[in-house]
């Protein structure tokens, strides 16, 4: 739990740019500043560390047509072993 306390602020302050991975289902993201995720809207991140890898789970909200609110159809998971290169699943 202590590790999460220190990793989450780092995750919340990193910038990323995207590039496609070999597997079309995954996207490789490289850190280059702040905010963490810029290519899609995410909300309420939760970070977990397991066997040296950080798993960042976020809600993926989208604005519904002609509404003032957002609708969450799915969750997104990002993973990293070095806190610089991330893979979106």
Cα gap 5→49, rounded to integer Å: 11
Q: What is the pLDDT of residue 14?
A: 43
At 34, is the pLDDT very low, low, confident or very high (cuts 50, 70, 90)? low
21: helix, strand or coil: coil
| pLDDT higher than 60, residue 79 | yes
Supply the pTM of this predicted model.
Answer: 0.61
Residue with tokens 């990323």: 16
Q: Who contacts 67 (Cβ-Cβ below 8 Å, separation ≥6)? A: none
Q: What is the pLDDT of residues 3-28, one digit of tens each?
A: 555 555 554 444 333 333 445 567 78
Task: Name the residue ranges covered by the structural domains of the chain.
Answer: 2-88
Q: Which secondary-structure segment (H or E) carries 54?
A: strand 53-63
Contact between 28 and 19 (Cβ < 8 Å):
yes
Q: What is the pLDDT of residues 39-52, one digit of tens each?
A: 787 888 899 999 99
């Amino acid at each position: 739990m202590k590790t999460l306390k220190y990793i989450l602020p780092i995750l919340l302050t990193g910038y990323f740019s995207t590039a496609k991975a070999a597997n079309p289902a995954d996207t490789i993201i490289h850190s280059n500043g702040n905010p963490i995720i810029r290519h899609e809207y995410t909300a309420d991140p939760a970070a977990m560390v397991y066997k040296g890898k950080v798993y960042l789970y976020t809600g993926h909200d989208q604005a519904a047509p002609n509404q003032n609110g957002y609708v969450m159809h799915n969750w997104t998971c990002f993973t990293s072993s070095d806190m610089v290169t991330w893979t979106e699943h």
